[in-house]
Amino acid sequence: MRPSPGNSGIPTLTLGQRYALAAVATLARHPRDRYVPVADLAAEASAPGPFLAKVLSALVVAGVLDGRRGHYGGYRLARAPSRIRLHDVVSALATSDEPEDRNPCAMGARACSPRHPCGLHEQWGAALVPLRTLLHDRTVADLVKDAPAEVEPAG
């Protein structure tokens, strides 16, 4: 999470994290045993295919998605939507300079930390609490109301 110039510095998700959430929501609407091609997911998320492919690869590494190459390849959820927390999706795309135990600096300072805080450090950390709580408390199932029944995929 980082401040976004487009919304006056309110904590937001990165573009990759937003595409990841859109992709897992789309996958939750498909049968769990079906692999959905990147091109289909990119069209649904209005995302550039090559960039989304990198995002999806990170979600595979994190255990959120299963991926398969080839003519009938694509991606599917690795677990039932109700077992994937939004935090799992977002944290798979966290940048290396934004570890979970640190607040991204509201002022963009790379050295901002509890030991060397910027002028907004304490207040910014408090502002991020509701967003972090939301990401920990909600699942992919909460993103979609019309998801198919939760049946574990074969194999």
* Domain CATH number, residue 111: 1.10.10.10
Number of domains comprising the chain: 1
Within-domain flag for 48: yes
User: Residue 62 is part of which domain span?
Assistant: 2-143
Within-domain flag for 148: no
Within-domain flag for 151: no
Q: Is 69 exposed, middle or buried (0-12, 13-18, 19+ CB in 10 A)?
A: exposed
Average pLDDT over residues 60-85: 94
Tokens representing 94 are 């966290």
User: Amino acid identity of 119?
Assistant: G
Within-domain flag for 76: yes
**What does the pLDDT look like over 86-122, one tens digit per residue?**
999 999 988 644 444 455 677 777 777 788 888 888 8
In this prediction, residue 13 has a pLDDT band, given cuts at 50, 70 and 90, of: confident
Within-domain flag for 28: yes
Which residues on neighbouring strands pair with residue 11, listed in sequence order?
Answer: 3
Residues 89-123 as b or e (16 or more Cβ within 10 Å = b): bbbbbbeeeeeeeebbbbeeeeebeeeebbebbee
Q: Residue 150: what pLDDT? A: 52
- Residue 56: count of CB within 10 angstroms of its CB: 26
Q: Residue 3: what pLDDT? A: 43
Cβ contact 14:93 at 8 Å = yes
**What does the pLDDT look like over 50-59, one tens digit per residue?**
999 999 999 9
Within-domain flag for 155: no
